Homo-oligomer: A and B are copies of this chain.
C-alpha cells in the first residue's frame, strides 16, 4: 500500500491554525518563505513516499537481524538512509552553523510526520539522532559539538539514548551504569543498557551513544546521574574514525512491531571500560536528558499521528475497492464498494477526525515552540514556552493513545482480510502499540501533566488554554448565530460542555493533588485523555470556522473538513464528560485504590 502525504491538510493547519506567516517573520526564520515551505513539504512528500514507504512492509517481514554483535538492517534501509542524509532531511530544524537548515519546528513537524507515516521503523533512527543533537546543542562542550554535530546533522552518523537498565525503567533513580573519571578527563563507562533503539546497526559509519551513568562519588537517586557521549568508534582529531570502543550489542529484541528498528541490549565496558566524554557537568545528566526527551516526546506524539494517517489511507483504499453487500437505504440493487456502508464511513471518519485533530494540535504546539525560542520579546517567549511545555505530555499521551484506536479501526475496516498479515493493516496495529509506552508511558505523561504542568503552577497554564478555548467559543457563537450551520451549532454545544468538563477537572486536580495524591494520580490518564479530547476538539473548532468561511473556494476540501469537525463534535467530544466523571468521583481512601493487593 502506498503513502501519499496529506500536504494540503498540513499546510492548512500550519497556515490557518498554527500561524505560519507570523512564525516565518521571527528572527532566524527568514528563509521560511511560503515558497520555501511549500517546496520543502513537496520534496519531503516525494522522498518519503517514494523511497521510505515502499520499504515499510519489507522491514516487517525481514526485520533487522543480529549475528555475533553485528546488526544487519532490512535490505534497502542502508541505501535509503544514505539518500536521507544526502537530502538534508536530518538537518531541517538544526542550526545552519553545524550544517542544518535552521527551519522552524512548525516546518519540520510535518516532515517528521511524513517520514514516520512512510516508515516508522526507519524514522526512529533519525528521531533518536535528533534527540542526541538537541542534548549536545544544549550542554555539549564546543569540542564535542565541533566533532560530532556536523556528522550527526549531515545524517552520516546516528545517535542513541541509553537510559533504561533491567532494574531501571520508568524510575531512572535506579540507574547503576558506572563512569570512572580518568586522568585525561575522559571516563570509563561500564554497565548494561536495554531497549536501546538503533543501538547497533549497519546504516551509518558511527553511532553516538548518549549514556546515563553514575560517577563513583555521585549522590544517590536522580541527582547523581551524569550524561556521557560514548561513540561506537573513537574519533581522531582529524575527524577520521579510530579504534572500536568497548561497547557491544549483546542481542536485539523480538518485538510485537517496529521490527525493522533494532532494539539493542548494549554491554559497556566488558573489556576495561568504554571511553566516554562528559556532556555538561557531572550529576546534571537527567536535566539534559529531559531536553532530549521533551523533543523526543513531541516526536513520538507525531509518530502517533503519522501511523494513524497511514492506517487511514490503507483503510480508505480498501473501502473504495472492496465490493460487498447492498446499501442499507436501498439506493442500489447491487452490492457496492464498502465505503458506501454507513459503519465503514463512520470508522473512516473517526480515524480521520482523531488524526486531523491531533495533527492540528501538534502543529500549533510546534508554532508555540518556535515562538518560545525565537520571539524577540521575553514575555512572549516565556508565555509560549510554558504553553508548549504544557502541551508536550498531551501531544505525546493523546496522539499515541488515539493511534491505538485508529489503527484498530484500520484493521476492522478490512474485515477478515485485516487479520491476514499480507494485507498490511495489522502491521500498523502492531507498530503503533509501542507508542504509548516508550519515551515515558501514558501514565508518565499524565503524571507530568498533573504534577509539573497543572498542579505546580496552580493551573495557570491550563487556565490560559481554557481562556483561549473560550475565545474560540465566542467566535463560534457569533458565527453559528449567523449561518445556522449544523456543524457550527453542534460544535458550539459540544465543545462548550467539554470545556466545562476540562475546567472542572483542572480545578479538581489543582485542589486535590496534594490532599489526595492516590486519587488524582489514579485518574491521571482520564485527565490526560480529557485534555487531549478537548484541546484537539478546540483545534477542530478553529478549523471549522475557517472552513465554513472558505467553503466556496474549495468545496471538496473544506466540505470534508466541516463534516469531520461535526463528527468530532458529536461523536468524540461527548467522551469528555465521561473522563470528567472518573476524575471527579474517585477518592484514594476507598474503592479500587484502597483494595488489598491480594484481592487482585
Let me know if A564 is at the binding interface, CB within 8 A: yes
**Do B411 and A600 have beta carbons less than 8 Å apart?**
no
Residue of B nearest to A513 (CB): B328
Chain B residue at minimal CB-CB distance from A322:
B169
Tell me which residues from 429 to 445 in chain A have a Cβ below 8 Å from any Cβ of chain B: 429-430, 433-434, 436-438, 441-443
On whether the beta carbons of B408 and A591 are closer than 8 Å, the reply is no
Query: How long is the Cα–Cα vector from A351 to B534 in the complex, in angstroms?
Result: 25
Complex CA distance for A524 and B316, rounded to whole angstroms? 20
The answer to whether A342 and B600 touch (CB under 8 A), given A412-B437, A416-B169, A577-B578, is no
Does the CB pair B412–A339 fall under 8 Å? Answer: no
A133 at the interface (CB under 8 A from B): no
Given contacts A349-B592, A426-B256, A567-B591, contact A324 B416 (CB under 8 A): no
- A151, CB-defined interface residue at 8 Å: no
Closest residue to A171 on the B side, CB-wise?
B325
- B420 near A434 with CB under 8 A, answer no
CA distance A342 to B451 in the complex (A): 14
Beta-carbon contact of B487 and A420 below 8 Å: no
Contact in complex: B586, A254 (CB < 8 Å)? no
**Interchain CB contact under 8 A, A420 and B349:** no
The residue from B343, B486, B525 contacting A346, defined by CB atoms under 8 A apart: B525
- Are B442 and A412 in contact (CB-based, < 8 A)? yes
Interface size on A, residues (CB 8 A): 102
Q: Is the CB of B525 within 8 A of A430?
A: no
Extra inter-chain contacts (10) besides given A343-B521, A343-B522, CB under 8 Å: A169-B416, A253-B420, A329-B588, A345-B522, A352-B600, A426-B433, A563-B592, A574-B581, A574-B582, A575-B575
A window 574-600: CB within 8 A of B = 574-575, 577-578, 581-582, 585-586, 588, 590-600
**CA gap between A418 and B443 in the complex, in Å:** 15
Stoichiometry, copies per complex: 2
A426 and B600 CA atoms in complex are apart in Å by: 21
Determine whether A340 belongs to the interface, using a CB cutoff of 8 Å to chain B. yes
CB of A43 closer than 8 Å to a CB of B? no
Known: A343-B446, A570-B586, A595-B560. A429 touches B525 (CB 8 A): no
User: Which residues of chain B come closer than 8 Å to A486, judged between CB atoms?
Assistant: 590-591
Q: A169-B416, A174-B335, A486-B591 are in contact. Are A521 and B560 (CB under 8 A)?
A: no
Q: Which of B170, B521, B564, B574 contacts A328 (CB 8 A)?
A: B521
A117 on the interface (CB 8 Å rule)? no
Q: A346-B525, A518-B342 are in contact. Are A416 and B195 (CB under 8 A)?
A: yes
